[in-house]
Amino acid sequence: MVYDVAIIGAGASGLMLAAQLKDLNICLIDTNETIGAKIKVSGGGKCNITNKYVNSEHYLGCKEFVQTVLDGFDNQALLKFLNQNGVTPKIHEKIIKGTYFCNSSNEVIAMFKRLTAHCEYYLNTQVNEVTFTNEFTLYTNKHLIKAKRLVVASGGLSYSSLGASSIAFDIAKQFGHTVKTPVPALVGLTVQKEQFWFKNLSGVSLWVNLFVENKRFEASLLFAHKGCSGPAILNASLYWQKGLIGIDFLPNKRLELFLKSNKLISSALPLPKRFIQEFLNAMGLKDKPISQLNKDELMTLKKLKQYEFAPAGHFGFSKAEVTKGGICTDEIKMQSMQSKLQPNLYFIGECLDVTGQLGGYNFQFAFSSAVSCAKNIK
């Protein structure tokens, strides 16, 4: 049998594509034993599925390419699609502004199981090689699969525990595509010796303003045994390459308002005492009445509002939520996701050189690119 369409990857983009192609003979191939493995763990099990503020400014990549794809199936179209299929996400802004969460990731997976019942699944199946003559032949660890069209929706290198692999990039290179070096993104950052005090605060979370590469993120920062993480740091990792990251540990507050207090610094400031004590130790300050600080000590304390550090690196692909880099979009047709180099070969979702910020942006692009692809195939 020759399938009309073979889809590598039963994640967000692959499932959305299959759901759109009801009248074709389709197979879905995935290395996991169940579909939607990455959907299941997203958003703490609640699937942060899109964002109220979706536009190309929240993405790394070619702005024209990204906006064209998003315009073809925007956040309102996605919400309508979900509502029609019994999934009703709501905005919960405690973590990232404008983020829509579902009641459960399982309801999203259940929806896609219903919508892809017409497909043939090859689960726990690894694609080892792809060739093309008059059609595509996929050599897997279990089966030989032939298809007229091949869609690669297998994502990037993040979440290796969920079967992530380089297959998308391997296939792209085989057919002459340029692949921008994949690196971990939306990932925690390790620190240099000057910030080893961060490690003593493992588990402590603070709301901060964070500044990196002309971007500002107001979100929580989580201190970790390797350095720092949390939404503010994850978003920073998307843009940070080298150099300094700035942190305001007292966002939307003026330090001057607290300087007349006779309380100890650790009691006068609206910050966790554990954090203040580690900060003071790192800065060489004593915890004394804040009103008794001299000029030099005040200047040092003001680093709470403008602390700067240069990360040593990141936590790696095993801890990264997404992959930055990927298949060059200059070689992909933005209206259809079809390769400009090989007819009937398509790339959608995270494997492309498009990466969104934390807060539903990557799911939205995955779904939007799948719908663009489906319209062309249909």
Considering only CA atoms, which of 368, 359, 365, 362 is closest in space to residue 43?
359
Residues 246 and 103 in one domain: no
Read off the amino acid at residue 293: L
- Residue 281's H or E segment, with its range, is helix 273-283
Residues 342 and 305 in one domain: no
Last residue of a domain, one of 277, 293, 314: 314
Pairing, β 120-122 against β 127-132: unpaired
Domain total of the chain? 2
Which backbone phi and psi does 133 adopt, to 5 degrees? -120, -95
Residues 119 and 23 in one domain: yes
Q: Residue 27: which domain range?
A: 2-184+322-377
Residues 43 and 30 in one domain: yes
CATH code for the domain in which residue 275 is found? 2.40.30.10
Q: Which residues contact 19 (CB under 8 A, 6 or more apart)?
A: 112, 115, 116
Residues 89 and 214 in one domain: no
Residues 162 and 201 in one domain: no
Last residue of a domain, one of 259, 282, 314: 314
Residues 282 and 364 in one domain: no
Residues 175 and 224 in one domain: no
Encode the chain (378 residues) as per-residue pLDDT tens digits: 999 999 999 999 999 999 999 999 999 999 999 999 999 999 889 999 999 999 999 999 999 999 999 999 999 999 999 999 999 999 987 778 899 999 999 999 999 999 999 999 999 999 999 999 999 999 999 989 999 999 999 999 887 777 788 999 999 999 999 999 999 999 999 999 999 999 999 999 999 999 999 999 999 999 999 999 999 999 999 999 989 999 999 999 999 999 999 999 999 999 999 999 999 999 999 999 999 999 999 999 999 999 999 999 999 999 999 999 999 999 999 999 999 999 999 999 999 999 999 999 999 999 999 999 999 999
The residue written with tokens 């990232």 in the block is 96
Last residue of a domain, one of 285, 314, 343: 314
